[in-house]
Structure 1
Amino acid sequence: MAPSSRPAVYRATGIKRPLTEQELVTALEKLFSEDGTIQIQAMISPGCYSHDVIDVALVTFLPKAPTSLEEMIRNRDSVLIDTEKGQLLFDRNFHGLTQLYPTTKGVAVTADIVAVTGLDGHAYGSWRSRESGKMWLRDFLSESFPTCRTMIYGYDSKLGSTVGMHRILDYKRAFIEDLKMTRRLTESTDRPLIFICHSFGGIIVAQTLVSAARAEKFADPTQYAIFTATRGIMFFGTPHRGLLTEDILSMVDRNEQPERTRLVESIDTSSQELRTELEGFIGIAAVGKFKVFSFYETKKSRKLVKGPSGGFSRSGDWFFPVANDSALLDLPGDSEVAIPVHEDHSNIVKFSSPQDSTFEIVRHHISEVSAGL
C-alpha cells in the first residue's frame, strides 16, 4: 500500500470542555487554511492526568501534516499554538500516558489497558501497521472493548538521545508515578489493569510490578494497587533474559553517549542485573494473581548496517534479536501462555486488520482476563 496509508498523527492537549471534535477540526482548518488540500480528523478523549477538566485529541492530517506545523515543531518536543478555541499544545512524541479513544458514555470504565513500547520505539507508531496504517490499539480495541480505558505510554527511548533517562530504574520510577497520577481517584485506584508490552517495554512493566508488590511495606496504597489490580500482561518479544545488542550498540557513540551505551549493555544477554530483577518478577508471577501471555517471534530480523551516508538500515545478516529462552518465562502451571507469532521483532505488534490471527488471539485473551469485571 502507498506510504500515504500512514498519515501524520499529532497529539493536541489543553482542550477545554465542552469543545466537540467538529469544532476542533473547524478551528484547525482555519488555522492551516494555506494547506487547503489537507484533510483533518480528530478524536477527543479525556486527559489521563487532569480528570474531567482537560481533554486530549489525536489529530490526523491526510495525506500529510501542514507545512507550517512541521516547521513550528521541527527540532522541538512540542509547540504551543493559538487557535480560536484557545491555546493547544501539539506534540508528536506522545510522552507520558495518552488515552486513545473515549469510553462509552454513561457506562463505568471496566478496566485500564496500558501499552508500553520498546527501546527506540514510538508510543503511537510502534503499534501501527505499515500496510494498512491502522493503529490496532485505537482502531480495533475501541470496537472490541469500548468500556476499557486504553492508553499508550511514551518515554524518551531513542538511541540517539543524549538528554533522556539512561537507567531502567529511572524509566520504572517515571512509569510508576504516571500510573499513580492517572489512577489516583477513588474509582480508578483499584480498577483492573491489563498491560501490553513490546520488547524493552516489558522489562519496564515487569520491574514496575515488582516495586508495586513491595509498596505495601512502605504504606503506598496507590502504588500497591497497581500490583493487586493487574489481571493480565501480554509480553511481545520481551527480552527477560537479555537480547543480542551488538547491532544496536553500533548505533550508539560510546564516547558521546556513555550513558546510552550502558543502558543498552544492561539489557544484553550477559546482564546479571537483568537476571536478578527477573527473579523478583518470576516470584510474584508464579503466585498466579495475574495471567502472563508471552508472544515470541518466529521470523528472523536483519541486523542493522551503517550505510555510506551514515544512516542505518536493516540489511545485514538474519538473526533472532530475542531468543525463545529469553522471551519465555517458563512459569509453573498455567500462569503463562506461550504464543508463537510468525513475524519478526518489529512487526510482532503490528496488525493490519481485525482479522489478523494474532490480533484475534489478543482479543480473546483480553476478553478472558476481563471476564466478570
Structure 2
Amino acid sequence: MYGLLEVHNPENATSDIVFVHGLHGDREKTWTKNSVFWPQKLLPLDITDARIFSYGYDANIAHFWARPADNRLDTYSNDLFSQLNNRRAETPAANRPLIFVAHSLGGLVVANAMVDSASNSYQSLSSCIRGIAFIGTPHKGSAKAKWAQVGRQIIAYFGKSTNPELAKDLEEKSEKLAKIGDVFPKLLKRRNEEAKGRIELVCFFEGQPMNIGMIVDESSATLSGYESILLNGNHSEICKFGSRDEENYTKVVGHLMKWTREFENSGTTEEAKKVTNDAYFYGTNNGLQQHTNSGTMTLNFGMRN
C-alpha cells in the first residue's frame, strides 16, 4: 500500500490533486468512511477535470521523530516528488497545476519536499504547486519543545502501538521538524511575492477531541496569514467523508473546486500555457507523432524498435 496510487484520470485533466496521509495512516483507509474512498468515489463527481492520486508510505512515528542522521522523512518526501515527477513526465502534464491535500503529519511530508526541492532536482515540480489543503497538520515553527509536545500527544493517542521510550528524548529528536517549521513559512512568503508563483493555502482544524484531548488544536493547525476553517470531528474523523452532503466534505472540496477553476481560467504559468498550446511528441515504431490542437501527424525518421 505504499507509493503513488492513481485513482482517477480523465482525458481532459487540467490539474493534478495528490492526497498524502498522516501517521499510522494508509493511502486509502485514511480517506475512507463507510467503505467510501472519497478521493475516488466522490471527488470526481465535483471536479471532473482533475487527475487524482493518493500517496502511501510507512507512517511510523519513529520516522518523524528521529535524529537527522537517520530521519526517513527526507526519504518519503523525496520519493513522493520522484514518483510524481515521473508520472507527470509520461504525459504532456509536466507543468500542470498541482494541488496537495494532506492530513496530519502528511502535511510535513509535503512541506519538507518543497523545502528540499530548493537544493535538488525537483524545483520545477515544486514551482507547479498552486494549492495546499492542510487537514489537522501541526505548524509549530522552530521551537523543538513545541514539536516534542505534539509527539507526546500522538504517542499518547496511539498508546501501546508505539514505543513509550520515544517520549524520553523527543525534544532532541525534533530538530528536523523545527527546521521545516522555520523554513517552510519563509518559502511560502517568497512564492507569494512572485506574481505567477502564489500558492493558495487553507488550514483545516479539528473541532472535537480524541479520548486524550485535542491532537492538533486550532493554534497549532493554522498558519499566520492564511485562512483557517473548523471541521466538525476529531483528528481521525476530519479527513473521512461518506457523502457529498456532509458539511465537512463541502468545506474541503469547495476550496479544491474554487482553485481548479481559477487555475484553469487564469492559466498557471507561461510554461504551463506553452505545454498546453504547443506541440508535444512521443515515439512510435516508425517515427514520432506530433500532437497539436489542430490534429496529429506522423514524422518518419526511419527509427526502429
Is TM-score (shorter-chain normalized) higher than 0.5? yes
Letter in 1 for 2:81: I
Report the secondary structure of 2:201's partner residue: strand
1:172 to 40, 53, 77: 77
Q: Find the aligned partners of 1:352 and 1:291 in 2 and give their Cα distance.
A: 26
1:253 aligns with 2:163: yes
Q: Find the aligned partners of 1:272 and 1:283 in 2 and give their Cα distance.
A: 17
Report the secondary structure of 2:36's partner residue: coil
Q: Find the aligned partners of 2:169 and 2:22 in 1 and give their Cα distance.
A: 15
CA contact (8 A) 1:245 1:265 kept: no
Report the secondary structure of 1:321's partner residue: coil
Partner of 1:71: none
Give the Å deviation of 1:265.
6.6
CA contact (8 A) 1:351 1:359 kept: yes
Partner of 1:328: 222
1:207 aligns with 2:106: no
Q: How large is the Cα RMSD of the aligned pairs?
A: 2.6
Report the secondary structure of 2:235's partner residue: coil
Letter in 2 for 1:209: M
1:152 aligns with 2:57: no
Give the Å deviation of 1:147.
1.6
What are the superposed Cα offsets for residues 112-144 of structure 1, whole Å, 9 maximum, x if unpaired?
000000111111011001xx3211111111111
Q: Find the aligned partners of 1:210 and 1:175 in 2 and give their Cα distance.
A: 13
2:204 to 279, 295, 300: 295
CA contact (8 A) 1:240 1:274 kept: no
Partner of 2:240: 350
2:9 to 84, 102, 105: 102
Choose between structure 1 and 2 for higher RCO, CA contacts under 8 A separated by at least 6 residues.
Answer: 2
1:120 to 2, 10, 24: 24
Give the Å deviation of 1:226.
2.0
Which structure dedicates a bigger proportion of its chain to helix?
2
Residues 1-373 of structure 1 mapped to structure 2, 5 A cutoff: 93=1, 95-103=2-10, 105=11, 107=12, 109-129=13-33, 132-158=34-60, 167-185=72-90, 187-212=92-117, 214-215=118-119, 220=121, 223-241=122-140, 242=147, 243=150, 244-247=153-156, 248=158, 250-253=160-163, 261=166, 271-287=174-190, 288=192, 289-303=198-212, 319-331=213-225, 336-370=226-260, 371-373=262-264
CA contact (8 A) 2:32 2:38 kept: yes
Q: Find the aligned partners of 2:208 and 2:181 in 1 and give their Cα distance.
A: 25
Q: Find the aligned partners of 2:155 and 2:54 in 1 and give their Cα distance.
A: 29
Q: TM-score, normalised by structure 2?
A: 0.72
Q: Find the aligned partners of 2:107 and 2:173 in 1 and give their Cα distance.
A: 18
CA contact (8 A) 2:31 2:39 kept: yes
Taking a change above 3 Å as real, the CA distance of residues 265 and 359 of structure 1, as seen in their structure-2 partners, is farther
What are the superposed Cα offsets for residues 16-50 of structure 1, whole Å, 9 maximum, x if unpaired?
xxxxxxxxxxxxxxxxxxxxxxxxxxxxxxxxxxx
Q: Find the aligned partners of 2:61 and 2:173 in 1 and give their Cα distance.
A: 20
Report the secondary structure of 1:183's partner residue: helix
Give the Å deviation of 1:206.
0.7
Letter in 2 for 1:140: L
Report the secondary structure of 1:138's partner residue: helix
CA contact (8 A) 2:155 2:164 kept: no
Give the Å deviation of 1:160.
9.7
Which aligned segments of 4 or more residues in structure 1 are displaced greater than 4 angstroms? 158-161
Give the Å deviation of 1:180.
1.7
Report the secondary structure of 1:189's partner residue: coil
Letter in 1 for 2:256: I
Report the secondary structure of 1:176's partner residue: helix
Taking a change above 3 Å as real, the CA distance of residues 102 and 186 of structure 1, as seen in their structure-2 partners, is closer
Q: Find the aligned partners of 2:111 and 2:30 in 1 and give their Cα distance.
A: 20
Taking a change above 3 Å as real, the CA distance of residues 329 and 269 of structure 1, as seen in their structure-2 partners, is farther
Q: TM-score, normalised by structure 1?
A: 0.59
Partner of 2:277: none
Give the Å deviation of 1:250.
4.2
What are the superposed Cα offsets for residues 247-284 of structure 1, whole Å, 9 maximum, x if unpaired?
146423368xxxxx49x976x79934322211211012
| Sequence identity (%) | 25
Give the Å deviation of 1:158.
4.3
What are the superposed Cα offsets for residues 187-237 of structure 1, whole Å, 9 maximum, x if unpaired?
22111000000001000001111122x14xx5x3xx112221111100000
Q: Find the aligned partners of 1:251 and 1:204 in 2 and give their Cα distance.
A: 22
